[in-house]
């Protein structure tokens, strides 16, 4: 397939995903049954962003033009180790390899091995030629380069196994938000999306907020009630009950709206159902510290609009590593 055909195939995939056929509904249900964090609500959200941000022809043509993509790329076999924290989290890597005309060997997470397989199945039905271009494997071997995403612990293994090959190793990251205390109710509702979409499991989810001294948390807790239906989700409720119990047993101060906990804590990463906060006095110093922190994926607030964390575009590369530039340099 040439570049134009690949772009057209991605566009056709996007068009299909908007039709919501019975078969697609069954696949979403299968994904949920295998991983209860993958609710229909959040699979639909992930797919909506993929379709609108990644699979539009004008956006794909812009990407191809920006990188001067053509049909003269020396084809390599790229191994992708996918994470499974949120639905289709590896799709951007998949798209980058596919559009640059390389072969793909995918090792999917056991937590998310339904949706992308289905995507490839539909793409193959539309263009049978790609059956020799995309493979799934339980163990990655004999690839020319690797893109691997996982926890900080698994990254050490990735470095050991893939370090002698060209590779991108992505570690665990999270996102933060800076509040001034002057945010509108609408802005705080958008921040609630940044915090709670995908149950807070993504690296682009805000798990830590910074607030000025004497900040009034009431409006924030009210905004977070947008997702109070989470408490009816068994896995989420178990996490909430556990975190709440720890705070009570330790006689620690906390705030809650009965579905999410606000806990003063210096750590960036918070548990499911809880959000950490810290107070700041010097905004410029805080921004500088956060900008240089390798564990942070996104910084919301302080001039950056809320509600965009879970809407990355084609040029928003995880960890700031340009995947397409990496692939073109092989």
Reading the chain (330 residues) residue by residue, the pLDDT tens digits are 899 999 999 999 999 999 989 999 999 999 999 999 999 999 999 999 999 999 999 999 999 999 999 999 999 999 999 999 999 999 999 999 999 999 999 999 999 999 999 999 999 999 999 999 999 999 999 999 999 998 888 888 899 889 899 999 999 999 999 999 999 999 999 999 999 999 999 999 999 999 999 999 999 999 999 999 999 999 999 999 999 999 999 999 999 999 999 999 999 999 999 999 999 999 999 999 999 999 999 999 977 789 988 899 999 998 889 999 999 999
Q: Which of 78, 301, 116 is closest to 195 using CA atoms?
A: 301
Q: Kindly report the CA angle at 135 between 128 and 14, in degrees rounded to 5?
A: 55
What are the residues whose beta carbons fall under 8 Å from the beta carbon of 118, sequence distance 6 or more? 24, 27
Long-range contacts of 153-159 (CB under 8 A, 24+ apart): 158/81
Q: Kindly report the CA angle at 91 between 330 and 120, in degrees rounded to 5?
A: 95
CB atoms near residue 66 (< 10 Å): 11
Look-up of token digits 């830590």: 208
C-alpha to C-alpha distances, 321 to 155, 199, 205, 209, 292, nearest whole angstrom? 15, 26, 19, 25, 15
What pLDDT score was predicted for residue 112? 96
Predicted TM-score (pTM) of this structure: 0.94
Tokens linked to 330 = 């092989």
Do the Cβ atoms of 277 and 269 come closer than 8 Å? no
Tokens linked to 73 = 């790329």
Look-up of token digits 């548990």: 271
Q: Give me the domains of the chain, ranges plus CATH numbers.
A: 3-172 (3.40.605.10), 174-301 (3.40.309.10)
Do the Cβ atoms of 118 and 16 come closer than 8 Å? no
């Amino acid at each position: 397939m040439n570049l134009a055909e690949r772009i057209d195939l991605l566009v056709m995939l996007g068009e299909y995903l908007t039709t919501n056929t019975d078969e697609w509904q069954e696949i979403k249900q299968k994904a949920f049954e295998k991983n209860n964090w993958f609710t229909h609500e959040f699979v639909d959200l992930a797919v909506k962003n993929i379709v609108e941000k990644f699979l539009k022809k004008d956006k794909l043509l812009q990407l191809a033009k920006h990188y001067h993509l053509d049909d003269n790329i020396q084809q390599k076999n790229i191994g992708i180790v996918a994470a499974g924290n949120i639905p289709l989290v590896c799709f951007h890597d998949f798209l980058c390899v596919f559009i640059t005309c390389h072969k793909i060997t995918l090792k999917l997470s056991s937590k998310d091995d339904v949706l992308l397989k289905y995507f490839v199945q539909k793409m193959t039905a539309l263009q049978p030629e790609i059956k020799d271009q995309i493979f799934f494997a339980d163990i990655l071997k004999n690839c020319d380069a690797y893109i691997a995403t996982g926890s900080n612990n698994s990254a050490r293994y990735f470095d050991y196994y893939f370090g002698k090959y060209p590779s991108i190793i992505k570690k665990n990251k999270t996102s933060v938000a800076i509040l001034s205390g002057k945010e509108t109710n609408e802005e705080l509702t958008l921040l609630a999306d940044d915090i709670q979409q995908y149950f807070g499991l993504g690296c682009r989810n805000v798990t830590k907020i910074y607030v000025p001294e004497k900040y009034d948390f009431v409006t924030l807790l009210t905004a977070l009630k947008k997702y109070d239906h989470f408490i009816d989700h068994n896995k989420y409720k178990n996490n909430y009950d556990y975190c709440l119990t720890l705070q009570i047993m330790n006689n620690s101060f906390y705030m809650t709206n009965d579905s999410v906990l606000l806990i003063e804590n210096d750590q960036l990463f918070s548990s499911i159902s809880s959000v950490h906060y810290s107070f700041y006095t010097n905004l410029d110093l805080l921004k500088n510290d956060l900008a240089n922190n390798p564990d942070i994926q996104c910084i919301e607030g302080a001039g950056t609009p809320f509600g965009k964390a879970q809407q990355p575009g084609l040029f928003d590369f995880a960890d700031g590593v340009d995947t397409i530039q990496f692939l073109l340099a092989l």
